Amino acid sequence: MGAKSVNVEVKSNVVKSPSGISVIWREIVKDKIALISLIFLVLVTAFVYGVSLVLDQKEIVKVDLFSIYEPPNDEFILGTDYGGRDVFGQLIIGTRNSLSIAILVTVMTGVIGIVYGLVSGYFGGHIDNIMMRILDFFMILPFTMIVIAFVAIIPKYSVWTFSLIMTAFLWMGLARLVRSRTLAEKELDYIQAAKTLGTSNIKIIFKHVLPNVSSLIIVSMTLSLAGNIGLESGLSFLGFGFPENTPSLGTLLSYARNPQVLEHRWWIWVPASVMILLLMLCVNNVGTALRRATDARQRRG
Amino acid sequence: MWKFSLRRILIMIPQLFFLSLLIFVLAKMMPGDALSGQIDPNIDPARIEELRIQMGWYDPWHQQYAAWVGNLLQGDLGDSFRFKMPVTELIGQRIANSFWLSVATLIFTYLIAIPLGITSGRFNDTWKDQLITGYSYLGFATPLFIFALVMLWLFGFQLQWFPSSGSIEPGLEPGTFEYFMSKFYHLLLPALSMALITTFSTIQYLRNDIVDTKQKEFILTARAKGASESRVYNKHILRNSLLPIAAFLGFEITGLIGGSIFIETIFSYPGMGQLLIESISLRDYSVVTATTLLFGMASILGALLSDIILSIIDPRIRIK
Amino acid sequence: MSKTNLTKWLFALMLAMLLVLAACGDDTSSEEPEKDPETTEEDPAGEEDPEDAEEPEDGLYSIDDFATTKTNEGTAIEGGTLNFGLVSDTVFEGTLNYNFYSGAPDAEVIAWFDESMLYTDGNFTFTNEGPATFETEPYETDEYPNGVTFTFTIRDNVNWHDGEPVKAEDWAFSYEVIGHPDYPGVRFGPDFTNIIGMEEYNAGEADSISGIEIVDEKTLKITYKESQPSLLTGGVWSYAMPKHIFKDIPVAEMQESDAVRKNPVGMGPFKVKQITPGESVVYEKNADYWRGEPNLDQVVLKVVSPATVVQALETGEVDMVDGFPVDQFVDNADMSNVEWLGVTDLAYTYIGFKLGHWDAEAKKVVMDPEKKMADVNLRRAMWYAVDNNAVGEQFYNGLRWNATTLIIPPFGDYHDPTIETPTFNPDEANKILDEAGYKDVDGDGIREDKDGEELVINFASMSGGDVAEPLARYYIQSWENVGLKVELIDGRLLEFNAFYDRVGQAGEDDPNIDIYQGAWGTGTDVNPYGLYGPDQMFNFPRYESEKNTELLVEGNSLDAFDVEYRQGIYKEWQQLMVDDIPVFPTLYRAVLIPVNNRVHNYSIDYGSTMGRHELAVTQEEAIKHED
């Protein structure tokens, strides 16, 4: 008993000295790729959000019959699309919208998924059973059908409602992962030790289990953020995403459904595609650095 | 284990019941019905009204639902209004197509993803890893629609290495050897297109798990004992890292019948994905409810399978 | 570490470029100058092109430049296989019988192996060239003073694919099936209840239809209560059903039966050999076809996705298609291995105004003078405010063009090109609005209504295709230019089902909709009663007037059998529509069909009697496209 309590104290001493944030920061700085990616992300985000405050969305989506399908030239940096609308302007606003959705959805699904998974995995037994069955029910909900029904029934939907709907369908994956990992973790000695010491369940969950599951969470949330950037593009393809007067990377990409656009008018969809790719890569790189930061053995800094 | 599975399957029934109720109500709430599309000056609207009454679409929804459940219990899933044939027959036709396509896609995906994931994890942070990660991200970011279309243009039309549409060559007798070969041949390009794009998550999960496991102490021990590098990987690391993949296997199996509407549209390949989406758009209620129920069931069974596999592989995750 | 950084980024970038290049890789027309209204485009190909489409001066095409019949080059061979593409995003349903199908793809499939008993001419009127000939004589009784009896005689050598002759009882049988109380299809309607005895039969009160008489094996008599010109343009149901095959199947189950889905039997130039559900059909020649043995041995019909139809045509995988997606034409106009045929479509798009509602009890339209759009000046001004020619030129490269009246040009006898209709003139629109009292009271550039209250017009438009959104926006902008505030209802385009539901296809109009954009496929009957009559649910504008009703009824009356008389009536009616504007048409459009150069004897002309049995090819393989 005496030896064990010494262990616990020593451990907490070691962990306290560099704060979490500085560890992460150091890790990113040491990894050049991650640093570049982070800078890129910050720049793009600032640019996109900043400029779209200035840009007039109404002007951008105004249909100009006489500029249809113009290739990139002096007047339009990235050319125009089927309605004669400036593609570059749409790209900026579109990136802002897509980023907003991606961040919103990732944060919401993250919070719900982590808490759900932790609670379910930690308590196990009947609680786990019931919670998992509820989760199963959510999982079998037919995604496409409900989205289509929503679009048909709800007259006006915006970035918020869209994100909410997406969240309702996406939190399950993370919850399942966290739960199975928690199930395994809670059998480990240090958890048993904490229990024996009489630590409250909430404290155990959030101070002990959570940090050890964090690697999994970070990987998952990174993937999820990266994935959510292109999330509504799939729906836009099917015609259930945003109307065209709310540009997003997905709507720009969905113009490529027309083989003529795909082959001959690349300036409409390629920038959106490249933007998605770059954003995803950057998020991944930063996420990799984060992941390394959480596991002391893998740190470079 | 058996008690566990049985309990899960029993719980499935109320879950499916709620699901079917939800779907039914949702479907009725959507504007229009299967006959809304008949805006043809040569067709008499009075006749359309008559048909609607005949089909029972003006009955209160709980009455319609009760009728549907009644039929279901007798094994009758109703008729597809659009195809004018029993839903069971319709689904039977399509599901075979989707199933084989998905199996092929799955096999290709694992064939590509597992070696790549292992390489990436084993040599992480070298150029091999960068390359593979870059490729998998490229695949993730590329819209499936565009990629499949480009593949088709290139391999189907330009090079003519693969057939460009349909699930089978027209005119072949079912059951013959040529029939099977042709079906197989038609599968390859769509399956390959899909596999090349969807390897992303498998590769990344495998890679990350390997990287994590590599750090663990028992690996150090194995090396200290003098085990060769390949033995360390194949015997120790791999078995641990395949865990997430095995866990997902259950879900992949669910996806087997789901199909992908993009692939099906581009390759003119009649499958389940197209069926579901179109039935929703065209308000073919019987098909929508039947397929959603089918997917729901498959989903639950898939999750069950995942859990069983997980508990077999990882004794820490005990089933009580 | 820095070396691998660079490599990684380079690789990622390279892969991205590769993808882009692959997409543009087979861009064969990248050398063409960009379509630009200002410059003239030189014809890049110097040699003699068999294509009839003249090189457009400014990137615009005109329907007049397209031939409707394929030019035959070279000599045809005996036999051969033709590959026909059914352009569709989806499968064909597979209800392969004229009496049960509903959907254009199925109709294409059926057209190869079955046909109508009566052929039509360029005015869509029945002729005596087909498998059956007919005569009419008036039928007058006290109850039905304007009746008519048709006597049909089926030719001797017309047989079903299984060898049985096509009999009068087969033709009567299709009436018995459609009129049957258990009939599950959509065809039953006023055209059938017009037959004496049909209503009683349909109500289950009679075992047979008294107005249909089978005189002998090849002669059939049908007596109608009201004689109308519409009878001659499709009112008579001209499709038979092989009774000997269907007689033992209950009517309610017929459309699911194998006789409809798996091995349908018809009387056309080709027989169904094999069906792969939803994907393809293989036909072989019907050597006993009554017009002569077909040239081709085999026809293969395949579903082709619109995303790949260009490639399928270029590689010769299909020789021709049922309808080419018009928005892909511009980039492929000089495909070297096909000839482009074109004809005006039997359709028009229009802007409609909601002028009332539907009274479901009385089953008629009720106009409401309080409705927002009730002032005809407002409607007229809105017509003047839009530039449909510009829309047709800019969005469709001339393949759609300004529509004038509600009777489309393919009805050559009745479409009146001399009627003056409003064309783009914003000044005139402003003038009309000012005079009508729609003034801008508060100086914000937007007109208020006649009482000085805010005027917001709710616009319903369907989604679908690339153009839908820009087009709707364009209209809204055009109206804004003359000071009218128009908004999309719910802020966006409506999905197909939702749109028609709210516009009133079930009689439950959404009262918030003021104007809407729709399109009609007119079919082959010129009579517009079904769309504008006072008791028609499809009369979405909910418009009626005494004159309108009078003209519409006259246009399909006994007197209207006289073409000149009918022309006068419809001329008046078209003018009335221009005066009253319940709707105004926006665009007529073209149907384009590419045909591989190896094909002989194909025509899409409405009056053509060229049959599919005459189709032939000049070589075994399709000719491929060369740059």
> Which residue(s) pair with C342 in the sheet?
C592
Using a CB–CB cutoff of 8 Å, tell me whether B143 touches chain A.
Answer: yes
Rounded to the nearest angstrom, the minimum Cα separation between C328 and chain A is 6
Q: In the sheet where C212-216 sits, what is the strand order?
A: C132-139, C147-154, C219-224, C212-216
| A52 falls within a domain | no
> How many residues are given for chain B?
320
CB C155 within 8 A of CB C168: no
Q: What's residue C20's pLDDT?
A: 37
- Domain housing B157: 88-317
Smallest CA–CA distance from B79 into chain C, residue: C256
CB C60 within 8 A of CB C391: no
Query: Which of the two residues, C255 and A285, has the higher pLDDT score?
Result: C255
Q: Which of B84, B158, B173 sits opposite C256 (nearest CB)?
A: B84
Per-chain mean pLDDT for chain A: 77
Q: What's residue A295's pLDDT?
A: 66
Q: What's residue B259's pLDDT?
A: 65
Q: Is the pLDDT of residue B303 over 80?
A: no
DSSP string, B252-310: HHHHHHH--HHHHHHTT---HHHHHHHHHHTT-HHHHHHHHHHHHHHHHHHHHHHHHHH
Phi-psi category of residue C586: left, alpha or beta, with phi > 0 → left and psi -120 to 50 → alpha: alpha
> Which residue(s) pair with C494 in the sheet?
C462
Q: Which of A63, A151, A255 sits opposite C474 (nearest CB)?
A: A63
Q: Is the pLDDT of residue C49 over 50?
A: no
DSSP string, C50-108: ----PPPSSS---GGGSBSBPPP-S-PPSS-EEEEEEE-SS-------TTT--SHHHHH
Per-chain mean pLDDT for chain B: 80
Architecture label for domain C33-46+60-100+268-622: Roll (3.10)
**Rounded to 5°, angle at Cα A78 from A74 and A82:** 110
Pairs of CB atoms within 8 A across A/B? 113
Q: What's residue A257's pLDDT?
A: 77
pLDDT in tens, A44-64: 888 888 887 777 666 666 777
| A19 falls within a domain | no
Q: C443 vs C51, C436, C440, C452, C483, CA distance in Å?
A: 56, 18, 6, 12, 11
CB C278 within 8 A of CB B121: no
| A81 falls within a domain | yes
Q: CA nearest A102: which of A223, A215, A244, A217?
A: A223
Number of structural domains found in chain A: 1
Query: Which of the two residues, C328 and A18, has the higher pLDDT score?
Result: C328
Q: Is A144 helix (H, G, I), strand (E, B) or coil?
A: helix
Q: Is the pLDDT of residue C52 over 90?
A: no
Percent of chain C scoring above 90 in pLDDT: 62
Q: Return the amino acid letter for B100.
A: W
3-state secondary structure C327-361: HHCHHHCCCCCEEEEEEEEEEEEEEEECCEEEECC
CATH of the domain at A162: 1.10.3720.10
Q: What's residue C17's pLDDT?
A: 39
Q: How confident is the model at residue B297 (pLDDT cuts 50, 70, 90)?
A: confident
Q: Is B128 helix (H, G, I), strand (E, B) or coil?
A: helix
| A31 falls within a domain | no
Q: What's residue A129's pLDDT?
A: 85
Average pLDDT estimate for C239-247:
94
Among A98, A130, A137, which would you mutate to test the B interface (most chain B Cβ atoms within 10 Å of its Cβ)?
A: A137
Is the CB of A262 less than 8 angstroms away from the CB of C390? no
Q: Which of B31, B215, B297 sits opposite A152 (nearest CB)?
A: B31
Distance of CA C418 to the CA centre of its chain: 25
Using a CB–CB cutoff of 8 Å, tell me whether A291 touches chain B.
Answer: yes
Distance of CA A157 to the CA centre of its chain: 21
Is the CB of C94 less than 8 angstroms away from the CB of B79? no
- Residue spans of the domains in chain C: they are 1-30+116-257, 33-46+60-100+268-622
Q: How confident is the model at residue C81 (pLDDT cuts 50, 70, 90)?
A: very high
| B28 falls within a domain | no
pLDDT in tens, A174-209: 888 888 888 888 888 888 888 888 888 888 888 888
Average pLDDT estimate for C535-555:
93
Q: What's residue A15's pLDDT?
A: 47
CATH of the domain at B169: 1.10.3720.10
| A98 falls within a domain | yes
When mean pLDDT is compared over A26-30, B121-125, C297-301, the highest value belongs to: C297-301
H/E stretch holding C303 reads strand C298-304
Structural tokens at position B193: 């297109």
Q: Is the pLDDT of residue C14 over 50?
A: no
When mean pLDDT is compared over B97-106, B184-193, C52-61, C339-348, the highest value belongs to: C339-348
Number of structural domains found in chain B: 1
Q: How confident is the model at residue B255 (pLDDT cuts 50, 70, 90)?
A: low
Q: Which CATH superfamily is domain C1-30+116-257 in?
A: Dipeptide-binding Protein; Domain 1 (3.90.76.10)
Q: What's residue B144's pLDDT?
A: 77
Q: Say how many Å lie between the first and final Cα of chain B, rounded.
A: 8
Percent of chain B scoring above 70 in pLDDT: 93
Q: What's residue C69's pLDDT?
A: 92
Measured between alpha carbons, how far is B194 from B147 in angstroms, rounded to an integer?
9
Q: What's residue A58's pLDDT?
A: 65
| pTM, 2 dp | 0.83
Distance of CA C462 to the CA centre of its chain: 17
Q: In degrees rounded to 5, what are phi and psi of residue C271?
A: -110, 150
Is the CB of B265 less than 8 angstroms away from the CB of C90? yes
Query: Which of the two residues, A277 and C576, has the higher pLDDT score?
Result: C576
Query: Which of the two residues, A229 and A164, has the higher pLDDT score?
Result: A164
Q: Which of C12, C184, C277 sits opposite B93 (nearest CB)?
A: C277
Structural tokens at position B164: 């460009």
- Domain housing A98: 57-277
| A44 falls within a domain | no
Segment 60-119 of chain C within 8 Å of chain A by CB: none
Q: What is the ipTM of this complex?
A: 0.84
Q: Return the amino acid letter for C496.
A: F
Residues in B closer than 8 angstroms to C273, CB to CB, are 171
Structural tokens at position A115: 């808490």
Q: Is B176 helix (H, G, I), strand (E, B) or coil?
A: coil
DSSP C34: P
| B7 falls within a domain | no
Q: Is C195 helix (H, G, I), strand (E, B) or coil?
A: strand
> How many residues are given for chain A?
301
pLDDT in tens, C108-142: 999 999 999 999 998 899 999 999 999 999 999 99
Is the CB of B141 less than 8 angstroms away from the CB of A273? yes
**Rounded to 5°, angle at Cα B8 from B2 and B9:** 90
